[in-house]
Structures are given as structure tokens and as C-alpha cells.
Amino acid sequence: MLEAVAGNLPKAFREAPIVCGLVLGSGWGDVLRPEALHARLPYAALEGFGASTVAGHHGELLLMTLGGKRVAAFSGRRHYYEGCDLGQVVYPVELLRCLGVPAVLLTNAAGGLNPGFAPGTLMAVEDHLNLTGVNPLRGPHRPEWGPRFPDLSRVYDPALTDLLVRSGEDVRRGVYAFSVGPSYETPAEVRALRALGGDAVGMSTVPEAIVAHAAGLRVAALSCVTNPAAGLGAEPLSHAEVLAASEAAKPRMAALVAAFLRGLP
Ligand code: HPA
């Protein structure tokens, strides 16, 4: 089905190789400052995907030149907590693979577990914790999408992660803990995730990263820490706070993404 969707995209998507795919999370929707926009497609035009239902999430597939590279950007993602199936959550990375895209940059907003990661911290994901019981590869094995039991020792490509850290922006390295949501974590869960090695916690990215890595794509991921995780700050958590913090970090997020793309081979 996805091969057919890829085949029916506007011709611009197949005219020249796409160097990288982007999946933009909460607050990352308008950080892209393309040098040229080649095509834009509402998610409604992508069969089997469906529109994002979350405030702060756009719903468009953009084909652009950014940082001198041809990139396909999913502006807005689907989350497992929306009630959709994981097939919809990983749809962007699967479609990118059908287009022959070799690498993806996944972005998200996250709560800070590491006490050194104040709101506004940009974190390159080096590894993840997935203690949710949710795995996008559950189900019948699809051999063309990777092995039955994929190795996850290096989900996040070390060279791409280095590229993020050396972008010229202040970028920290850390472990992203996946939480299904949509409720935020409890303070006890936050203490547990921190004790287990998590630096930031969020409700996305991990399903896409697993599928992309298993299928042979190079994966990089980037978190914008928008709040101290539950129990670590003075205020109750709110989505408005998340969006406000990412708004303030936007110029740095934009510069970082452009520098990363410029540095890609
Ligand atoms: N927890 C989970 N997801 C999040 C958070 C958080 O504190 N902040 C932004 N996304």
C-alpha cells in the first residue's frame, strides 16, 4: 500500500534523491526555513495516514531544499496516544523508505529528567528506554522491513548524532525515555525513569526510530526539553507550557536543523 502511495506522490518527490526525511514533533512545526519549497501535500492526501489531532502539530508533507539538501519533512506526527495504530505512527518513516530516503531526523518536545537539562535544552538522543510494552514491530514478520529480531545496540547513528552535537548550537547528549501518554508521568515514574538512566521523557519518536533502524535507515533524533518532568518543577505540567518553551527555543532549533542538513554527505 505504501509503495503505491509513494508512487502517486507529485513527480517532484521522485525527480532527485531525497537526502533526509524529517519528522517534526510538538513545537518543531515551523522551524524550517527552506531555501526552496518544491511541493506541499496535506496529510489528507496520504492514504492511510489521517490528520494529526494535536494542537501545535501541523499536518503537511513538505518537499524542500534546506541546508543545501533535498529534504522531505513531515510537519506534524501521529502519536500512539491518539488511539491510532502503530502503523499510522510509523507511516512517515515507512513512506520515506519507499521513496528511497536513506536517513531520518526525528524531533520531539520532552520533559527534562536530568536536573542539568533546563527548559530550552536541546538534546541529541543517543539511546532510548522503552519500558512501555509497545513495539511497532509486533505482529507478522515483514522480511523486507528488516530481521524478525532487530539489534537495537545502535539505533541512533553515532556519526549523525555527532553532527548534531557539532552543529555550533549548544546540544547535549542523552537518553530519551518513551512514555505512552497522553497523561504526563507521575513523580514516582519520573524518579524511576531517571534512576534507570533517562535524561528526557516524551510520548513519541521511539516507534519511528525502531522501525527506521530495523529497516536500515540511518536515524538521528533531537529533543527540545520544554519543562522539568513531573515533580521536578514547581508548577503542574501543561501543553501550553510545552509550546511556549519550544517557541522560545525556535531560533536555535532552526539553526540546528539547518546546520545538521548542511553537514550531511
Ligand atoms: N512528559 C512527556 N512528554 C512530554 C513532556 C513530559 O514532561 N514534556 C513534553 N512532552
Q: Which domains does the chain possess?
A: 2-263 (3.40.50.1580)
For residues 232-250, give the mean pLDDT: 87
15 backbone dihedrals φ, ψ, rounded to 5°: -70, -35
Q: Which of 191, 242, 246 to mutate to test the pocket of ligand 1 (most atoms within 8 A of CB)?
A: 242
For residue 159, CA distances in Å to 28, 34, 162, 191 come to 23, 24, 5, 31
Mean pLDDT of 235-254: 88
Point out the ligand 1 atom lying closest to the alpha carbon of residue 179.
2
Residue nearest to atom 10 of ligand 1 (CA): 110
Mean pLDDT computed over 105-130: 97
DSSP output for 143-193:
GGG--SS---TT-S-HHHHHHHHTSSS-EEEEEEEE---SSPPPHHHHHHH
Task: Give me the pLDDT at residue 57, please.
Answer: 56
Cα separation, 259 vs 14, in Å, equals: 25
pLDDT at position 1 is 83
**Atom 9, ligand 1: which residue's CA is nearest?**
110
Q: How far is the CA of 212 from the centre of ligand 1 (A)?
A: 23
More confident position, 242 or 256: 256
The per-residue pLDDT for range 178-205, each reduced to its tens digit, is 999 999 999 999 999 999 999 999 999 9
% of the chain exceeding 90 in pLDDT: 78
Ligand 1 binding site (Cβ under 6 Å of any ligand atom): 109-111, 179, 184-185, 201-203, 226-227, 229, 237, 242
Ligand 1 center to 65 CA (angstroms)? 31
Which of 1-5, 59-63, 151-155 is modeled with the greatest confidence?
A: 151-155
Nearest 10 degrees: Cα torsion 203, 119, 30, 204: -10
Return the residue whose CA atom lies nearest to atom 6 of ligand 1.
111
User: In the predicted model, what is the mean pLDDT of the chain?
Assistant: 93
pLDDT at residue 152 above 80? yes
Contacts 24+ apart (CB under 8 A), 179-186: 179/132, 179/203, 180/80, 180/81, 180/132, 180/134, 181/79, 181/80, 181/81, 182/79, 182/81, 184/111, 184/229, 184/230, 184/237, 185/111, 185/229, 185/230, 186/230, 186/231
pLDDT at 59: 87
Residue 118 pLDDT greater than 60, yes or no? yes
Residue 25 near residue 122 (C-beta atoms within 8 A): no
> For the residues 108-120, what does the mean pLDDT come to?
96
Distance CA 28, CA 58 (A): 9
pLDDT at position 52 is 57
Identify which of 81, 123, 176, 227 to mutate to test ligand 1's pocket (most ligand atoms within 8 A of the CB).
227
Report pLDDT digits (tens) over 34-66: 999 999 999 988 988 876 565 655 789 999 999
Q: Which ligand 1 atom sits closest to the C-alpha of 203?
A: 3
Task: Please give the distance, rounded to the nearest whole angstrom, from the Cα atom of residue 60 to the centre of ligand 1.
Answer: 23
Q: Which helix (H) or strand (E) holds 222?
A: strand 218-228
Q: What does the pLDDT average to over 10-15?
A: 92
Q: Identify which of 82, 201, 239, 246 to mutate to test ligand 1's pocket (most ligand atoms within 8 A of the CB).
A: 201
Nearest CA to ligand 1 atom 5: 111
Please check the confidence at residue 25 and state whether its pLDDT lies above 70.
yes
Residue indicated by cell numbers 514547581? 234
3-state secondary structure labels for all residues of 91-133 = HHHHHHHHCCCCEEEEEEEEEECCCCCCCCCEEEEEEEEECCC
